[in-house]
Structure 1
Amino acid sequence: MDSLLAVRARGITKCFGDVVGLDGIDLDVAQGQIHGLVGPNGAGKTTLLGLLLGLAVADSGRLEILGTPVGRTFAAPGGVAGFVDGPGLYPSLTARQNLAALAALRGHDARAAGIDDVLDQVGLTDVADDRTRGFSLGMRQRLGLAAALLTSPRLLVLDEPSNGLDPAGKKHVHGVLARLAAQGTAVVLSSHRMDDLEALCSEVTILATGRVVFSGPLSKLAAENRALDYRLVTSDTQAARRLAADAPGVHVVDDAIVRHGDEVLVVRALAPALDELVVRLVHAGLALRELAPVVSPLEAAFLNLTEQQRPAPDEPGTGTGRPGAGGQQQRTDVQEQEAGR
């Protein structure tokens, strides 16, 4: 295995009876990389995360984690930590007691386990001695991350770690993940929060119906995507509309709308055409106050790529089958969650 890869998967297939969970998955995750995993509900994300954590094994294909081939066992190599479908906690215990119990299960003394340090990292010091039955979803997610950090993982696998996080919690979690990646830890996380993935991830893998429809850098995803809609706010909306209408490769989508006292023009273009429009606006002496995609490039690509994988309404087995599956059914969300447990 490439020494710089924390995860190398080739042709991974996983079925649950006649239900196809993963269909020939290839995945590379480098050490020190935060890799995002996205897809519609039922696409196979939880199943794949479960394989990385050793909660299940593939039916076929080759999986190597931290340089170790994963065989027909339910044990992940040492150095792997994380959670799928939410962290498991003892509600009658405090946050500190939950972590001490986990440390004891691993044969570590609570004081030497670094419990106070990981609680501080995830921003839970002030509630360390509160029972977790009263914790919000976001607090439970942060405590699950703290539990994973106790092992000083070299591969961290997280399922929807941003669920329920307030801005402060989100800041803590983002900071922790960025520091871990800078120290060489590989992080694989799934999320429906496209803004989180764009802020954290250098590469993403998009799944649809158990298959990879894209895997690579975000910059490549944006380059391969279709034209996006952009909000454009300038000092003179009418002049900007005229310039946009005459600009090659730019289409004016809507008439100007008013938002917070500013007129907003919506245009559709690929990045090169948009760059040329900005040059024209500046040369015309217009002040550019805002230029932002209506939908993020990652979200637009996600919608485009996953929509292409849906069978046409008149295809046999619509909603349950997949091409080449020989009539096997695609898995349901419930079955995906069960696979990750």
Structure 2
Amino acid sequence: MLDMLTRWYQRRFSDPHAVSLVAILLGGFLTIYFFGHLIAPLLVAIVLAYLLEWPVMRLSRLGLPRSLSVIVVLLIFASLMVLAIFGLVPTIWHQVGNFVADVPNMFNGLQEYVSSLPERYPDLVQPHQIVTFMTTLREKVLGMGESVVKGSLASLVSLATLAVYLILVPLLVFFLLKDKEEMLATLSGLLPKNRRLASKVGVEMNEQITNYIRGKVTEIVIVGITSYITFAVMDLRYAVLLGVLVGFSVLIPYIGAAAVTIPVAMVGLFQWGLSPDFWWLLVAYGIIQALDGNVLVPVLFSEAVNLHPVAIIVAVLVFGGLWGFWGVFFAIPLATLVKAVWNALPAKELDDETVSE
């Protein structure tokens, strides 16, 4: 066993560049794991900098100084964000209030329907099963209500954090875009000199992350708007709220789409019952998800994300468990990083004489 591990180590880490690559990655992972909550504004700023780098480069190529290009892009981006916030947030907040107010009616309607099941299907459903089910469901609903209240109280405390973000993040984005080359040169001076493999992986991952962030934001907007239009045309209640939920569900591959299906189906069932409109809603929602997974994602990401669905789900679970939201958001790039690192590490063939020496 020890001989096998020795062989594997010598095959993969005989090159000092490979050791430097692993050391850099390990240092980065440990920093984010232990200090991620402290540098969260920096992580947000890095994501926005990746998103805005393309328009800044386009303006720079047209002849504008980079500093002026950064200012113009940030002003346009901030204006769009203000319009979106003031246009969407009041509507979403109003629909959230209506939805919370309708939850008791939804629960009563579900209770009446479930209570009638023993009469409709006496051979399959027994009354004591219904009582147990409703008792458990009621406890879950009450628990969710308590969590919402606690979350609302906690959100008051987080207003100070939000204010800090609103000040720090724009400043960080400005300097990350404006002084990009200087910062990269400084970072390069801090890294080990034997970093040929690290540089190779870094170039590949920079392209991967850039394409991923831009593609993911585009996917959120397209899926969210399409879902809202579909729900509005069908006259579904809470169309804006559900459209936003469906849009942001693409952040978590596969799992997000399955989770958002529950509120969409619940609202449709409460509004229409088991009528043709309800089934048309499920068909329309299924078509949106199918087009997203089979048309939109391949077009936006092309071959940038060449991972098996099982690998993606495992990456979401593992990195989400390690780093929370950021682990989920960057699950696919991180999984791609692991794959790129493994492929970049040299696999030197060693014979028995080399090992014995």
Do Structure 1 and Structure 2 share a fold, with TM-score over 0.5?
Answer: no
Identify the TM-score tier after normalising by the shorter chain. Answer: under 0.3
Give the TM-score of the pair, scaled to structure 2: 0.21
Give the TM-score, by structure 1 length. 0.22
**Greater per-residue strand proportion:** 1
